[in-house]
Amino acid sequence: MTHYADDPRFPGPDPYAPLKDLPSFTLTSTDFSDGDKISELHIGGSDISPQLSWSGLPEGTQSLAVTCFDPDAPTLSGYWHWAVFNIPADVTELPTGAGSTANAGIDGAITLRNDAGMTAYFGPQPPAGHAPHRYLFAVDAVDVEKLDIDPNASPTVLSFNLHFHSLGRAILWGWYENP
């Protein structure tokens, strides 16, 4: 299996390369496997988030954050599709469709507005003919119970805070292309 940063089909950089190295843990989905094409069910227009489950969190994990980022978008900053944080550490999965609610169906969790302007999951929808795009689903194990981030902040603000509070990160990636 090709690592998401080593596949020559994708034009964008590895967005995690400049960040500190963190230990990983197990992240899987019943809706797609690492490196698979994302199904029509989960693309833009349908906007049904895939199921994600995780295990083996680092010691000291007090909460979790889940994001979906497209580093191949034709922008200077990529494209945020989903960002939810303050997920309690005892939660071990988000079911298919959890991204359709403002808190992913979890009391206390907060979903930030994505780059489509939705406070929800926005499925893959790359420009027609641009190239295939990667969609990096990341789960960060966080060292505090609650990140003090304004619910109106951008996912970039969450990412900045995760730099200082993540104990570990697991990434599951898929791709999609509009011919």
CB atoms within 10 A of CB 48: 19
Q: How far is CA 137 from CA 70, 140, 154, in A?
A: 9, 10, 17
User: Mean pLDDT in the chain?
Assistant: 95
Higher pLDDT, 50 or 8: 50
Report if residue 19 sits inside a domain: no
Whether 154 is in a domain gets the answer yes
> What's the confidence (pLDDT) of residue 153?
98
Domain presence at residue 3: no
**Would you say residue 106 lies in a domain?**
yes
In a domain, 102, yes or no: yes
The whole-angstrom separation of Cα 52 and Cα 86 is 16
Residue 8 in domain: no
Q: What CATH number corresponds to the domain at position 169?
A: 3.90.280.10
Q: What is the mean pLDDT of residues 102-116?
A: 95
- Give this prediction's pTM: 0.96
Q: How many domains does the chain have?
A: 1
Range of the domain at 139: 26-176
Query: Residue 149 pLDDT > 90, yes or no?
Result: yes
Amino acid letter, 89: A
31, 39 in Cβ contact below 8 A?
yes
Q: What is the pLDDT of residue 51?
A: 98
Q: Which pLDDT does position 1 carry in this prediction?
A: 59
Helices and strands, number each (H, E), in the chain: 1, 9
What pLDDT, in 10s, does the model give residues 19-72?
989 999 999 999 999 999 999 999 999 999 999 999 999 999 999 999 999 999
| Assigned domain for 1 exists | no
Higher pLDDT, 13 or 96: 96
Give the mean model confidence (pLDDT) for residues 92-108: 95
In a domain, 157, yes or no: yes
